């Protein structure tokens, strides 16, 4: 059990460190250029690993993979654009409305009303207020990313039934990279030829996609579903910690309380709905 918990926590930390490293590329590649580089490298690694069959892209499967790719590109682009404006911990907390919304929609338990109210209070506390330093556009973009995350969750369940292993994810990642290509090239320009920046982009892809996906997949084989869901609910708190340690992003007391409320609400709502926190 201890090893499995370590795998989940390792995946969470990897995702958030990857996000923190990604912000260091924004000045050179821009947020969308960084998304393009990340998705491209992740797609290359996943396609090489799973070798998906293109022949499977027919009818409903093709439509679902295309929608999955759109969700991936939209989720990452809106999240990175949010990160360019607001602290990591706040961005992840606001983005968490996606998996929480799916968990509440799938739930039939009366106690989830309490978790929904706690989450709503946390989101309200994080909302920009007159005189606050929090960028309104950044908060809106993080919520948009949460909407795409919810779509990603629903589509990932369909893709999992249609493709073996990670083949569907690999194809969707490639589609997402293609969708991000035009805006990514415009955003990054000639900097896409810089080996040092590309190396950092590759590290972001591994930290944000390949490593956590592998760790969580292994953990799911060993952990009860409820335990996995509760552990993943720690993600906003881990994001705030990484933002403080790696990026020097301070949070005021109201924001810390808000993140804590969302973590508690997530632990309650996701303990039996781990499918609602799958990572990209």
Q: What is the DSSP letter of 25?
A: T
Q: Answer whether 220's CB lies under 8 Å from 228's CB.
A: yes
**pTM as predicted:** 0.89
Task: Give, for all 280 residues of the chain, the pLDDT tens digit.
Answer: 677 788 889 999 999 999 999 999 999 999 999 999 999 999 999 999 888 877 777 888 899 999 999 999 999 999 999 999 999 999 999 998 888 888 778 777 777 778 888 888 988 888 776 556 678 899 999 999 999 999 988 888 788 788 877 888 899 999 999 999 999 999 999 999 999 999 999 999 999 988 888 787 677 667 776 677 778 888 999 999 999 999 999 998 989 999 999 988 888 877 656 556 655 4
pLDDT at 79: 97
Q: Cβ distance 35 to 184 under 8 Å?
A: yes
pLDDT at 20: 96
- The whole-number pLDDT of residue 15 equals 95
Kindly give the residue spans of alpha helices, DSSP state H, lying in the chain. Answer: 2-23, 26-50, 59-83, 88-95, 97-106, 112-126, 136-162, 167-188, 195-205, 211-220, 225-232, 235-247, 253-270
Cα 171 from Cα 51, distance rounded (Å): 9
């Amino acid at each position: 059990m201890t090893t499995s918990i370590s795998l989940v926590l390792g995946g969470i930390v990897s995702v958030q460190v990857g996000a923190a490293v990604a912000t260091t590329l924004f000045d050179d590649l821009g947020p969308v250029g960084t998304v393009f580089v990340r998705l491209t490298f992740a797609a290359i690694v996943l396609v090489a690993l799973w070798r998906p069959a293109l022949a499977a892209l027919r009818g409903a499967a093709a439509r679902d993979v295309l929608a999955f790719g759109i969700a991936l590109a939209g989720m990452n682009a809106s999240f990175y654009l949010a990160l360019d404006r607001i602290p990591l911990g706040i961005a992840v907390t606001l983005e968490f409305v996606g998996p929480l919304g799916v968990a509440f929609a799938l739930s039939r338990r009366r106690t989830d009303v309490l978790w929904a109210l706690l989450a709503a209070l946390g989101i309200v506390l994080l909302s920009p207020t007159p005189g606050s330093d929090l960028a309104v556009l950044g908060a809106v973009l993080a919520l948009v990313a949460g909407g795409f995350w919810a779509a990603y969750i629903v589509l990932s369940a369909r893709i999992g039934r249609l493709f073996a292993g990670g083949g569907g994810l690999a194809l969707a990642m490639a589609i997402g990279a293609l969708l991000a290509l035009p805006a990514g090239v415009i955003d990054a320009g000639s900097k896409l030829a810089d080996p040092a920046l590309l190396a950092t982009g590759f590290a972001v892809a591994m930290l944000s996609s390949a490593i956590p996906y592998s760790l969580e997949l292994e953990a799911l084989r060993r952990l009860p579903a409820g335990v996995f869901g509760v552990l993943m609910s720690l993600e906003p708190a881990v994001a705030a910690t990484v933002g403080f340690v790696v990026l020097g992003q301070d949070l005021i007391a109201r924001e810390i309380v808000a993140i804590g409320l969302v973590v508690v609400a997530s632990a309650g709502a996701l303990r039996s709905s781990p499918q609602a926190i799958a990572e990209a």
